[in-house]
């Protein structure tokens, strides 16, 4: 009988020690996921090849876009953030707040900015149809997210 009581005490001690180790390890791993200290914003969709002929009309240019989604509940201030392609074309966000759980579409052409649509006001295409990389950086220049498509060949579209 005393052997089973001792076995139970040892098991309880081991379980208690394991719980303490888990409690110590948990915050450290949670902290690693938050190492950049900014909300989780991602490039959620890209339409690099606008439908129809690439005729450089504003309608065609605006059918080329990148979407960003804020996956957190809090609004994110994108002021000073940039969106860039492999060739160095850069769009800089100016005084833009992305609401929690919201998505904004950044069009290449000319238009009037709204809560859901922003415009780069360009007269030429930015994103390569076959292959390119969209890079989103925060106001400190740190990479927040990238989206790559294609195989790396046929780099220049137009």
**Residue 106 pLDDT grade (very low, low, confident, very high; cuts 50, 70, 90):** very high
24 compared with 130, residue with greater pLDDT = 130
Phi-psi sector, 119: left (phi>0), alpha (psi -120 to 50), beta: beta
Q: What is the pTM of this model?
A: 0.72
Provide long-range contacts, Cβ within 8 A and 24+ apart, for 131-136. 131/155, 132/48, 132/85, 132/86, 133/85, 133/86, 134/43, 134/46, 134/66, 134/83, 134/84, 134/85, 135/83, 135/84, 135/85, 136/41, 136/42, 136/43, 136/68, 136/81, 136/82, 136/83
**Residue 111 pLDDT grade (very low, low, confident, very high; cuts 50, 70, 90):** very high
What pLDDT was estimated at residue 4?
A: 54
121 compared with 17, residue with greater pLDDT = 121
**Residue 79 pLDDT grade (very low, low, confident, very high; cuts 50, 70, 90):** very high
pLDDT of 156 strictly over 50: no
- Decide if 84 contacts 90 (C-beta within 8 A): yes
Per-residue pLDDT tens over the stretch 35-61: 445 459 999 999 999 999 999 999 999
What pLDDT was estimated at residue 152?
A: 52
3-state helix, strand, coil in the chain (%, to 5): 25, 30, 50
């Amino acid at each position: 009988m005393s052997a089973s009581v001792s076995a139970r005490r040892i098991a309880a001690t081991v379980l208690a020690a394991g719980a303490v180790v888990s409690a110590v390890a948990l915050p450290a791993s949670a902290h690693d996921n938050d190492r950049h200290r900014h909300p989780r914003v991602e490039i959620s969709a890209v339409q690099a090849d606008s439908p129809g002929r690439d005729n450089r009309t504003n309608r065609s240019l605006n059918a080329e876009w990148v979407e960003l989604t804020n996956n957190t509940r809090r609004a994110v201030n994108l002021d000073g953030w940039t969106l860039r392609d492999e060739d160095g074309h850069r769009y800089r966000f100016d005084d833009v707040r992305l609401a929690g759980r919201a998505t904004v579409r950044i069009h290449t052409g000319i238009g009037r900015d709204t809560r859901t649509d922003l415009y780069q006001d360009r007269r030429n295409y930015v994103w390569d149809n076959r292959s390119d990389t969209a890079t989103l950086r925060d106001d400190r220049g740190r990479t927040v997210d990238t989206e790559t498509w294609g195989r790396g060949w046929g780099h220049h579209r137009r």
